[in-house]
Amino acid sequence: PVVSARTHHLCRDMLALALLLPGAAVAFVAPAPRPTTFSALRAAEISPVTAEEAAPAPPAETAPLPPPPPAFDITELPGVSAPFGFFDPLGLSKGLSEERALYFREAELKHGRVAMLAAVGFPIAERFHPLFGGDIDVPSYVAYQETPLQTFWPVVVAYVGFVELFSVFTFESPFDGALWTIKKAHKSGDFDFDPLDYKPTDPAAYKAMQTKELNNGRLAMIAIAGMVGQELATGAKLFS
């Protein structure tokens, strides 16, 4: 009986201990680590921001804008030279817009260039005329009528028209009410034809060359008008 009682108490204590052990084991288990979120990882990677870094960056310095182009002044165009300076005794340039003034400048340049060629060719052709068999020996003012070109004058007109076709694109559109005006962007007389590369790169030198061309063209227009007038009056060659 004593053994039985002791055995009975031992079994009861072991059963109680067995019932208590799972709870104790659970109580002593270390908590599982919580999963770390992406934002927490990023925050851990970012270093603390200093006051200098937090301050707004100063605005970037921008290049200064180019100065606006000067107002149009016809007295500052090439061709104004001593001793007369700006010569306009009849006041034809008063009230002209820039586009209209550029149209007249373009016309002056073209007439001047043609006159320079004519002033050289007019007297030379009367002395040296190898074309068309060399049989055309007449004053220059009637020489064209003696050539076969008179019969084919439409071809000559078509050729001149083809050359002038490139000038059409320099004009303002007449459909906008801008009649006989030249675009501001067009440089008077400049058709990108400079095979000998004579055009100066310096603006002052370029303006000086333009003035020389205009003055020579003006002189040539007067000269060829005098040559033709003389031959019309005398009916003979310039140098008989």
Distance CA 152, CA 132 (A): 14
| Neighbouring C-alpha atoms within 13 Å toward the C-beta of 175 | 0
The SS3 call for residue 81 is strand
pLDDT digits (tens, 9 = 90+) for 56-95: 667 777 778 888 878 889 999 999 999 999 999 999 999 9
pLDDT digits (tens, 9 = 90+) for 125-179: 898 888 878 788 889 999 888 888 777 788 888 988 988 888 888 999 988 888 9
Distance CA 157, CA 19 (A): 125
| Predicted model pTM | 0.68
Q: Are 112 and 214 in contact (CB under 8 A)?
A: yes
Q: Which amino acid is at 118?
A: A
Please state the φ and ψ torsions of residue 29, each to the nearest 5 degrees: -75, 135
pLDDT digits (tens, 9 = 90+) for 90-127: 999 999 999 999 999 999 999 999 999 999 999 998 98
**Tokens of residue 199, six digits:** 């055009």
Q: Are 193 and 109 in contact (CB under 8 A)?
A: no
Q: Which amino acid is at 201?
A: T
Distance CA 205, CA 18 (A): 114
Distance CA 146, CA 51 (A): 95
Q: What number of helices (H) and strands (E) belong to the chain?
A: 6, 0
